[in-house]
Amino acid sequence: MVLPAATPRIRSGDTEHVYRPDSELYYLTGATEPGTVAVLTGGAEPRFVLFVAERDPVHELWHGPRLGPEAAAEAFGADEVHGLSELGRRFPSLVADADRIYFRLGEDRALQRRVVEVLSSGRSRAQRSGRGPRGVIDPALVLDELRSIKDEWEVHTLREAARMTVEGHRTGIAFLQPGLGEWAVEAAVEGSFRAQGATGPGFATIVGAGSNACILHYVKNNSVVSEGDLVLIDAGAEHDMYHGDVTRTVPAAGRFTPMQRTVYDVVDAARGAGVAACRPGSSIDDIHRAALRVIVEGLVDLGVVSGAVEDLIEGGAHRPYFPHNTSHWLGLDVHDPGAYVRDGSSRRLEPGMVLTVEPGLYFRAGIDGVPDGLSGIGVRVEDDVHVTSGDPENLTAGLPSAADEVEDLVGSG
C-alpha cells in the first residue's frame, strides 16, 4: 500500500489554501507533513517505510520547522524512515515483489508515474519470475471498512469535536438578531470554534436566512437577516482531524410564527425518530425510513400531499420537499467513507459507527402545490450519533432542538 500526503492546493496566484493532511495517510501513520509518502509492505516480513521531506533552513524560514527523517522515525515508529529525495531510488525495490499495489489514482501525479513505471517493468519481469505487481487497487477497498468502526480514541475525539461544534452554534445563535449579515453569524460561529482550540470549521459554514435556507449547500452567506426569517446554521468544528456536523434552524426574532413552528416540529420529530433508530442491527435505510415516515405524515397534515402514507413514501411524494438522505458517516472526513449498501442490502449498523441524522423540509418558492404561508420556509435539524451496543449516544445533545428551548437561545448573548 502506497499512501502519499495531500497535495497543497493553490487558492489564487501563488497563495495556497490552508493545508489539510490526507485522511488515509493520517489514519494509518499519524503523519501530517506535505510531501510524506508511506509504503506498507506485506508478505512474510511486513514493513512500514516512511519518506519525509528533509530539513531545509530556507523552507523552514517561510513555513516553519520540518521533522526530518530522524525525528519522524521517533515520532511514527516506522521500520525505516528516509528523506524524500531517496524515494525514486528505493521505491522500485519496495514494491518489486508485491502482486498488487494499493494506490489511489489521480491524486499525486508524480508518485502515480512511479507506480506506472513499476507496473510496466513488473509485467515483463513477472513473465519469467512469477513475481511483480500486476495491478493497482484503490486503498479504499481496505481502509473504508476499517474507518467505518471508530475505536475508543476516535470516539473520544469526535465527542470533543461535537462539544466544540455545539458551543459554536450556541455562540452564533446567541449573537443572532434581525439586521445582522449572515456573514456576521458565520464569523461568530467560526470564531468560537477557534477560541476553543479547534483547527477551524471542517467545511464551509452555512448561514441561510429566509429562502436561502432552502438552498441545501448555500455558502455565500451574503444576505441580511430579516425580522421574520428562519435562519439555518449548518456548521462543524474540526478537532484533531475529526469533525462535528450540526444543523439548527432558529427564528431570527426569537419566536417561531405558528406556521414556522408547525414545520419545525415535524422536522425535529423526524430527527428524534432517526436518532432512536440508530441501534446495532438496524440498517442505514431504517434510519431514513423512520425519519421519512414522520416527514410524510407531517406533509399530509400540512395539506401539501394527500393519500396513504406508505403509498406516498413509495411514490416519492416527499422528494420536492425532502430531497436528500437522512444520514452520512462522520469521522476524519465530514462525509466519511464507508458503504451504505452491502451485498445489495442497506448497511447494518455496528457499535463504533458514527453518523449524522439530518432530516429537513424545504418549501422553495415556485414549487407547485405549496400552500400559502409555506413558501420560502426551509428547516433542517441535525445531530451526530454514536452507535453503541445499546442506546444511541447523541454526541450533540448539548444543543437543544426542541422549539421552546431553541427560541430561548436566540439573541441571548
Residue 99's pLDDT is: 87
Residue 128's pLDDT is: 55
63 catalytic, yes or no? no
pLDDT in tens, 286-339: 999 999 999 999 999 999 999 999 999 999 999 999 999 999 999 999 999 999
Residue numbers of the chain with a pLDDT score lower than 70: 122-130, 413
> How many alpha carbons lie under 13 Å from residue 282 in its C-beta half-sphere?
23
Residue 292's pLDDT is: 98
* Cβ neighbourhood burial of 1 (10 Å; 0-12, 13-18, 19+): buried
Whole-angstrom CA distances from 403 to 75, 203, 236, 311, 399 are 48, 26, 21, 30, 12
217 catalytic, yes or no? yes
Question: What's the rounded Cα separation, in Å, for the pair 10 and 8?
Answer: 7
Q: Residues 273, 387: one domain?
A: yes
User: Across all residues in the chain, what is the average pLDDT?
Assistant: 95
Residue 121's pLDDT is: 78
Q: Residues 163, 180: one domain?
A: yes
14 catalytic, yes or no? yes
243 catalytic, yes or no? no
362 catalytic, yes or no? yes
Q: What is the CATH number of the domain that holds 49?
A: 3.40.350.10
In what helix (H) or strand (E) does residue 265 lie, and over which residues does it extend?
Answer: helix 258-276
Q: Residues 155, 136: one domain?
A: no
Residues 6+ apart with CB under 8 A from 89: none
Last residue of a domain, one of 113, 144, 175: 144
82 catalytic, yes or no? no
Identify the CA nearest to 244 among candidates 352, 380, 336, 143. Answer: 336
245 catalytic, yes or no? yes
Q: Residues 178, 316: one domain?
A: yes
Q: Residues 155, 186: one domain?
A: yes
Q: Residues 242, 331: one domain?
A: yes
Q: Residues 175, 38: one domain?
A: no
Identify the CA nearest to 7 among candidates 152, 144, 107. Answer: 107
Last residue of a domain, one of 121, 144, 167: 144
Residue 176's pLDDT is: 97
Residue of 182, 285, 336, 382 with catalytic role: 382
Residue 313's pLDDT is: 98
Q: Report yes or no: 266 and 328 within 8 Å, Cβ to Cβ.
A: no
Residue type, 98: A
Residue of 63, 113, 335, 342 with catalytic role: 335
Q: Residues 101, 225: one domain?
A: no
Residue of 24, 186, 245, 285 with catalytic role: 245
Residue 127's pLDDT is: 53
Residue of 318, 328, 347, 386 with catalytic role: 328
List phi, psi (to 5°) of 371: -65, 155
Query: How many Å separate Cα 225 from the centre of its chain?
Result: 27
**What is the value of pTM for the model shown?**
0.95
Last residue of a domain, one of 103, 122, 144: 144
Q: What does DSSP say about strands 101-102 and 136-137: parallel, antiparallel, or unpaired?
A: parallel
Q: Residues 23, 51: one domain?
A: yes
What domain range includes position 403? 149-409
Identify the CA nearest to 291 among candidates 266, 263, 310, 255. Answer: 266
Q: What is the CATH number of the domain that holds 326?
A: 3.90.230.10
Q: Residues 174, 84: one domain?
A: no
Q: In the structure grid, which three cell numbers stand for residue 285, read together?
A: 435505510
Residue of 248, 271, 380, 386 with catalytic role: 380
Residue of 89, 128, 217, 319 with catalytic role: 217
380 catalytic, yes or no? yes
Question: What's the rounded Cα separation, in Å, for the pair 181 and 209?
Answer: 9
Residue of 170, 362, 383, 384 with catalytic role: 362
Question: What's the rounded Cα separation, in Å, for the pair 207 and 190?
Answer: 11
Residue of 229, 358, 383, 407 with catalytic role: 358
- For 391-396, the CB contacts below 8 A with 24+ separation are 391/279, 392/275, 392/276, 392/278, 392/279, 394/275, 395/158, 395/159, 395/162, 395/244, 395/354, 396/162, 396/165, 396/166, 396/244, 396/246
Q: Residues 156, 139: one domain?
A: no
Query: How many Å separate Cα 399 from the centre of its chain?
Result: 19
Per DSSP, the three-state class of 218 is coil
Name the domain count of the chain: 2
234 catalytic, yes or no? yes
Q: Residues 162, 83: one domain?
A: no
